[in-house]
Amino acid sequence: MTNALPPRFDITADDIARVVASFYAAIRQHPGLGPIFAAHVTDWPEHEAKIAAFWRNAILLERSYDGNPMQAHLAAGNVKGPMFPVWLGLFDSVLAQELRPDQVEAWSALAHRIGSSLRMGVEGFVRMR
């Protein structure tokens, strides 16, 4: 899908796909996060495609993602606020391995803003119950 708006920063859809694949390979090996994801993801290629679409939407401003990240994290039931810094640390390490420093800085800042919002939503939901 093409878009008339410029991307948030210089990155390609192939870069996004590579980062997503590397990140989920790392997730599957992570002793804390791996089991959380494994409890919910039954089709890794499908999950990675959906998350790559999310990032293309967020960065390249495509309109190819159809989902609600907050709802998905709340529905999981086992996603807790303290997991987000671990998730973001792992994501940052993958970004640093896969991308140029300017791309790492821009994507990391965006991921941390999104992660902070998701964490607040997850923690707020738990407090309301």
Residue range 18-24: mean pLDDT, rounded: 98
CA–chain centroid gap for 116, Å, is 12
Per-residue pLDDT of 52-66, as tens digits, reads: 999 999 999 998 888
Domains of the chain in start order, with CATH, are: 13-128 (1.10.490.10)
Question: What does DSSP assign to residue 6?
Answer: P
The alpha helices in 1-129, defined as continuous H runs, are: 13-29, 33-38, 44-55, 69-76, 83-98, 101-128
Q: Is the pLDDT of residue 16 over 70?
A: yes
The residue type of 103 is: Q
Closest C-alpha to 10, from 99, 119, 86, 84? 99
Residue 2 binned pLDDT confidence (cut-offs 50, 70, 90): low
